[in-house]
Structure 1
Amino acid sequence: MTQSDYGLWSLVALNSAVFILFAASFSRPRSWRDWRSFGAFSAFLIALFTEMYGFPLTLYALSGWLQSAYPEINWFSHEAGHLPEMLFGWQGNPHFGPFHLISALFIGGGFWLIASAWRVLYTAQSSGELAQTGPYARVRHPQYIGFVLILTGFLFQWPTLLTLVMYPVLIWMYVRLALIEEQETRAAHGEDFDRYAARVPRFVPSLSTPTRPS
């Protein structure tokens, strides 16, 4: 490992700040539950960029097996952190590898979904109505799905032991928050929410043409 590969703590701080602020500008957390879930999401990003630019803990932990199974690869180079490309024998620049491109689609799609859903939710809440249009016409919790898409995208790009452990914990947290929010929304909107919930799935988006709310 050379100094140019890792130990770049300024890049850890910069990338963490950029992605966290970018996500915050889309999701606009307000309640303490919003901030708690966003804090866990931020911790995931910090752990990710720490291994990406600061200290490659996963590569050190797996170095014995990796060097024995793939002796032709310099596992302490920065490119080796793109584990899927390395393990599947991608010979080109890992930034243009199939897993990295899939990652970009997931991350970009996740941010787009969060932004689109927030605009609809903000407009509905400002008028005291139930959000039922845009992404909310196909799924009841598009913002949480957006965050999961982003987390999944980063795992395709740069999986680490710590983020793999955090991933199911974050999904469990989002599911729990979604169920709590549904209880609160049902209390506020009553039968309107029940009709909406009967028409729109909770987490798996509907691929059929959404019906207009009555």
Structure 2
Amino acid sequence: MRAAGRSMRGCGCAGGDDMRTRGLSVRAVVGGLALVLFVALYGIEIVHHGPPITVRWVRQTFGTAGLILLNIAIVLAFLALLPYRRPTKHVWKSRGTFIAFVIALMTEMFGWPLVIFLLSPLVEIPVVARDYRRAFGAWHPEAIGTALSLFGLSLIAIGWWQIYRARGLVTTGLYRYVRHPQYTGIVLFTLGWLVHWPSLVTLLLWPILVAAYVWLARQEERQAVEEFGAAYLEYAARTKRFIPFLV
């Protein structure tokens, strides 16, 4: 985590110059549009069970393929709100896992009939599929998943805003409670989609995604100690990594 230049991390460090400021403005617009589109597509599902009207309209107008591409574009656009730094090997690995999760999710979520027909005997889990909704009782998994995703996106967006408006080590706002609120947001966002549209592929990918961001957070913290020394060690001693008071 460097406090100057264009090398940024997600554990509460910021700094920059005029060129970076212009770049952040572009990323803010891209991420903001993605957030608005996501809420417009799925926000209504929290209070209304079933496919939102907007989703049905997109599917009828542009077809299933268009809906898949739109969702992938929206989710990947949120990468603009994620902590940025020079593309080191482990950063590309963690983001690659996130992208793989999204693409697998969209494929399973909307379905490719031929793929489902050919592979359903291999991926179907009858007992899980039969008992899945029953386990939620009166709560609809779609509404719960959407709420989790929106909460995760809120953490990503607020954390992004806090870290990029500050300079140096950020220990206030969301960073007062956890050291990596944006990574917590990513985990909650993907967990929401997993609850909403569970599949064998995403069930297998999600733990890998979580492990990738836990590992990335630890790598960033080592660099933060090198940059800020005792100040970061003191901050880490009193602040949990992902969940307040727990982890």
TM-score by length of 1: 0.73
Structure 1 residues 151 and 83: CA distance shift in structure 2, 3 A: farther
User: Gaps (5+ residues) in structure 2?
Assistant: 1-58
Give the residue type in structure 2 aligned to 1:171. Answer: V
1:108 aligns with 2:156: no
CA RMSD of aligned residues (A): 3.2
Which has the larger displacement, 157-166 or 114-123? Answer: 114-123
Aligned pair count reads: 181
User: Structure 2 CA distance, aligned partners of 1:118 and 1:19?
Assistant: 16
Deviant stretches of 4+, over 4 Å: 62-65, 87-91
CA distance in 1, matches of 2:225, 2:83: 22
Q: Larger C-alpha radius of gyration, 1 or 2?
A: 1
Q: Distance between the aligned counterparts of 1:160 and 1:65, measured in 2?
A: 9
The percent identity for this pair of structures is 38
CA distance in 1, matches of 2:68, 2:187: 22
Q: In 2, Cα distance between the equivalents of 1:28 and 1:14?
A: 23
The verdict on how the C-alpha distance between 1:184 and 1:113 changes in structure 2, with shifts beyond 3 A counting, is same
Residues 9, 54 of structure 1: 8 Å contact kept: no
Structure 1 residues 87-126: aligned runs within 5 Å: 88=135, 98-124=140-166
Q: Using a 3 Å threshold, how does the CA distance of structure 1 residues 142 and 108 change in structure 2: closer, same or farther? A: same
CA distance in 1, matches of 2:71, 2:131: 20
Superposition deviation, residue 166 in structure 1: 0.5
Change (3 A) 1:149 1:63: closer
1:172 is aligned, of 201, 204, 211, to 211
Q: Is the 8 A contact 1:26 1:111 kept in 2?
A: no
Query: Which residue matches 1:12?
Result: 68
1:131 aligns with 2:176: no
The TM-score with structure 2 as length reference comes to 0.64
The answer to whether the 8 A contact 2:98-2:209 is kept is yes
Q: Which ranges of structure 1 fall in alignment gaps of 5 or more residues?
A: 71-79, 92-96, 208-214
Q: Is the 8 A contact 1:144 1:174 kept in 2?
A: yes
**Residue in structure 2 matching 1:195, options 203, 214, 234:** 234
